[in-house]
């Protein structure tokens, strides 16, 4: 079985539009059994997500989608859970994409399991020395000092390294992902369903391919000495998803996106691939299973 995989098309961003159209044309001309889109296809406007999915109308095989963090960015009055559970799956089904976050699938004995994944700061860069409250609010001390509404994070100063006041980074999920729960609780919520999907596919499949947006292993997180990128590593994924994957021997491949960095690592029995699209350079991988 031939699976085409791509991610992070960001069709809502001007410089991604043309490269995405070109990539979609190339993918539609391929002869393959399945297409996996691994999230961040668009942002809050589901009309743009719909347009992006329809670029693949001519693809002859089955089409699957997992949400990215950008699909969970909520419009006023919405929640991210509503988008994950209802709005995005409805757009997917209408465009002939199977929403893997909600339901796993099976093709000729190969199980397909997907999740947006999330982060619990287990991949944070320890060398920054930042207290957890900055990760929980998704803002570094320099930005917290500059932007209104975060002064309470700076009241206690003893645990903030001197250098950290020059770190101006902010992870924008903090402003737009309205989870209604902590990041760790959201991971637990997703993990419960993910483990359930893995178990049901393990019972009926000879092999399982997992599609995720966020990263399941630290080895896939790009390292950087730049504090802005180092701060972002906390939001790349969670080791809890990696543990769930390693516990299921039928999982052969894990495909992910989110970091915009192409990478491949082997982890025990797993082959992990990040397709690594950037905003301007789109690419796909082909997997033979």
Binding site for Fe ion (CB under 5 A): 8, 40, 68-69, 258
DSSP 180-240: SS-HHHHHHHHHHHHHHHHHHHHHH-SEEEEEESSBSSGGGSPP-SSHHHHHHGGGSB-HH
How far does Cα 54 stand from its chain's mean position?
A: 21
Least separation in angstroms between residue 236's CB and Fe ion is 9
Query: Nearer Cβ to Fe ion, position 156 or 281?
Result: 281
Least separation in angstroms between residue 227's CB and Fe ion is 20
Query: Nearer Cβ to Fe ion, position 34 or 256?
Result: 256
Spatial contact of 87 and 125, defined as CB atoms under 8 Å apart: no
**CA separation for the pair 176, 66 (Å, rounded):** 19
- Residue pointed to by tokens 């006023």: 76
Residue nearest to Fe ion (CB): 40
Least separation in angstroms between residue 71's CB and Fe ion is 9
Query: Nearer Cβ to Fe ion, position 112 or 177?
Result: 177
Least separation in angstroms between residue 278's CB and Fe ion is 9
Query: Nearer Cβ to Fe ion, position 69 or 104?
Result: 69
> 19, 252, 218: which is closest to 121 by C-alpha?
218
Q: What is the 3-state secondary structure (H, E, C) of 1-34?
A: CEEEEECCCCCCCHHHHHHHHHHHHHHHCCCCCE
Query: Nearer Cβ to Fe ion, position 69 or 115?
Result: 69
Query: Nearer Cβ to Fe ion, position 19 or 68?
Result: 68
Query: Nearer Cβ to Fe ion, position 165 or 279?
Result: 279
**CA separation for the pair 41, 91 (Å, rounded):** 12
DSSP 115-169: E-----STT--GGG---HHHHHTTB-HHHHHHSTT-GGGGS--TTS-GGGGG---
Query: Nearer Cβ to Fe ion, position 202 or 218?
Result: 218
Least separation in angstroms between residue 277's CB and Fe ion is 8
With a CB cutoff of 8 Å and minimum separation 6, the contacts of 150 are: 137, 139, 143, 144
Least separation in angstroms between residue 256's CB and Fe ion is 10
- Residue pointed to by tokens 């049901």: 200
Least separation in angstroms between residue 124's CB and Fe ion is 17
Least separation in angstroms between residue 69's CB and Fe ion is 4
Q: Is 58 exposed, middle or buried (0-12, 13-18, 19+ CB in 10 A)?
A: exposed
């Amino acid at each position: 079985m031939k699976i085409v995989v791509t991610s992070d098309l960001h069709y809502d961003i001007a410089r991604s539009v043309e490269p995405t159209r070109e990539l979609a044309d190339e993918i539609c001309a391929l002869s393959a059994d399945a297409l996996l889109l691994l999230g961040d296809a668009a942002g809050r406007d589901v009309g743009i997500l719909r347009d992006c999915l329809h670029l693949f109308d001519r693809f002859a095989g089955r089409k699957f989608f997992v949400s990215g963090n950008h699909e969970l960015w909520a419009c006023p009055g919405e929640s991210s859970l509503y988008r994950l559970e209802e709005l995005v799956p409805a757009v997917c089904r209408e465009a002939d994409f199977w929403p893997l976050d909600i339901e796993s699938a099976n093709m000729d004995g190969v199980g397909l399991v997907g999740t947006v994944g999330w982060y619990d700061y287990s991949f944070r860069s320890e060398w920054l020395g930042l207290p957890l409250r900055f990760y929980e609010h998704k803002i570094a001390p320099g930005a917290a000092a500059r932007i209104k509404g975060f002064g309470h994070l700076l009241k206690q100063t003893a645990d903030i390294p001197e250098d950290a006041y020059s770190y101006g980074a902010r992870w924008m999920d903090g402003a737009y992902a309205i989870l209604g729960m902590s990041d760790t609780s959201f991971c637990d919520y997703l993990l419960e369903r993910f483990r359930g999907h893995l178990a049901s596919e393990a019972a009926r499949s000879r092999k399982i391919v997992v599609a995720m947006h966020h990263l399941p292993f630290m080895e896939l997180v790009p390292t950087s000495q730049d504090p802005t990128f180092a701060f972002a590593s906390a939001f790349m994924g969670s080791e809890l998803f990696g543990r769930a994957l390693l516990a299921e021997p039928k999982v052969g491949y894990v495909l992910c996106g989110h970091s915009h960095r192409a990478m491949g690592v082997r982890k025990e029995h797993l082959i992990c691939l990040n397709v690594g699209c950037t905003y301007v350079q789109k690419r796909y991988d082909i997997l033979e299973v």
